[in-house]
Amino acid sequence: MPRPQILLVEEFYFAKKEWDDLACIADILVCDSPNRESFIQDCASKYNNITCIYSSWRSAEITGVIDEELISKMPRSLRFIAHNGAGYDQIDVSACSKAGIMVSHTPGAVSRATADTAIFLILGCLRNFPQGEYNLRKGSWRSETSVEIGNDPNGKTLGILGMGGIGRSLAERARIFGMNVIYHNRQKISWTNNARPLAEYVSFEKLLAKSDVLSLNLPLNSNTRHIISSLEISKMKRGGIIVNTARGGVLDTVALIEALESGHLKSIGLDVFEEEPHIPRQLVENPRVLLLPHMGTYTIEAQYDMEKLVIENLERAVEQARLITVVPEQKGQQEHIMTKRRY
Ligand SMILES: *[C@@H]1O[C@H](CO)[C@@H](O)[C@H](O)[C@H]1NC(C)=O
């Protein structure tokens, strides 16, 4: 029997030994197609027998989004896409399901590093740290006119929109800082093993109205695009803060800039942007905005954990024709999706 083939449309950097182990049970092909067009051609020739793909946000720079068109051109042998990242908005999961392809992502592995980033943004915004840094780099020290006096997190209400792994890690951290944590999620969480829930469930409306700081921790998809826009911001307290470590598209950038300039929002902390790496000038030039270039999981530990989880998924795929961390849209449907004939 020929060995299963795994196509890497992304390099690996951190889990070197684990990748070597994987090479003992599968043939690893490295994608050398320079762009989408040649990738599609190569799918009909040298990638013709692949069963798994390793992808990440970087692979989209080669293949473009994994949409219905691209999926229809992929070899019939393909059954699994193991994506490196908690967010997988570059993959059309419903098109994958229709084609009998299972998709995994790397939740959990990203939680600590992303939650740490959110805490950094929350503290920085509450304390007006970007104003201080902005002035310092321009050569002036802090003065009451150039840097507004800040607030402690203690006693402030943090509203978490999206209570997955990152939301939970953030709630744990925020409580240590004395914050009162509320959340809204598609489903109310039933907290097991916890005498006291990490956060109080509230309606979306109440989340907006009560939060001193609103943190976005939900995936980007057609339901969540611009979930926070002018109307939602107007329901927030005057002087509120928004931090986003999820995806740029969940926030309406134009509405955000308006609310910042009108003073309705005191400060904004962003790790992600709608059109990365392009950031609107109004954000870059405003010292009330704390900016990071998408560094949420940019740590050795998080990157290692993410790669390791990808490899575990690929091993399970090769050995048991199953994935471990299946994307939520496909959860519980593995049998059904896998039995689908391709095209
Ligand atoms: C795909 O598998 C078939 C049947 O085993 C084989 O003849 C062909 O050479 C393989 N193609 C590639 C690109 O590996």
Residue whose Cα lies nearest atom 3 of ligand 1: it is 49
Name the pTM for this structure.
0.89
pLDDT for position 11: 87
Residue type at 144 in one-letter notation: E
Whichever domain contains 280, its CATH number is 3.40.50.720
User: Distance (Å, rounded) from C-alpha 210 to C-alpha 156?
Assistant: 10
Three-class SS of residue 214? strand
* 105 CA distance to ligand 1 middle (Å): 28
* 295 CA distance to ligand 1 middle (Å): 41
Domain count, the chain: 2
- Ligand 1: which of 49, 76, 77 to mutate, judged by most atoms within 8 Å of the beta carbon? 49
- Ligand 1: which of 43, 48, 50, 76 to mutate, judged by most atoms within 8 Å of the beta carbon? 48
pLDDT in tens, 90-120: 999 999 999 999 999 999 999 999 999 999 9
Q: Which domain holds residue 284?
A: 110-291
Within this chain, do residues 279 and 131 fall inside the same structural domain, yes or no?
Answer: yes
Within this chain, do residues 159 and 305 fall inside the same structural domain, yes or no?
Answer: no
Enter the DSSP assignment of 25. T
Residue whose Cα lies nearest atom 10 of ligand 1: it is 49
273 belongs to a structural domain: yes
Within this chain, do residues 121 and 260 fall inside the same structural domain, yes or no?
Answer: yes
> Tens digit of pLDDT per residue, the chain (343 long)?
789 999 999 888 999 999 999 999 999 999 999 999 999 999 999 999 999 999 998 899 999 999 999 999 999 999 999 999 999 999 999 999 999 999 999 999 999 999 999 999 999 999 999 999 999 998 888 877 789 999 999 999 999 999 999 999 999 999 999 999 999 999 898 877 666 789 999 999 999 999 999 999 999 999 999 999 999 999 999 999 999 999 999 999 999 999 999 999 999 999 999 999 999 999 999 999 999 999 999 999 999 999 999 999 999 999 999 999 999 999 999 888 888 755 4
- Tell me the catalytic residues: 247, 276, 294
pLDDT for position 156: 98
Residue type at 303 in one-letter notation: Q
Within this chain, do residues 165 and 251 fall inside the same structural domain, yes or no?
Answer: yes
Report how far apart the first and last C-alpha atoms of the chain are (Å, whole number): 25
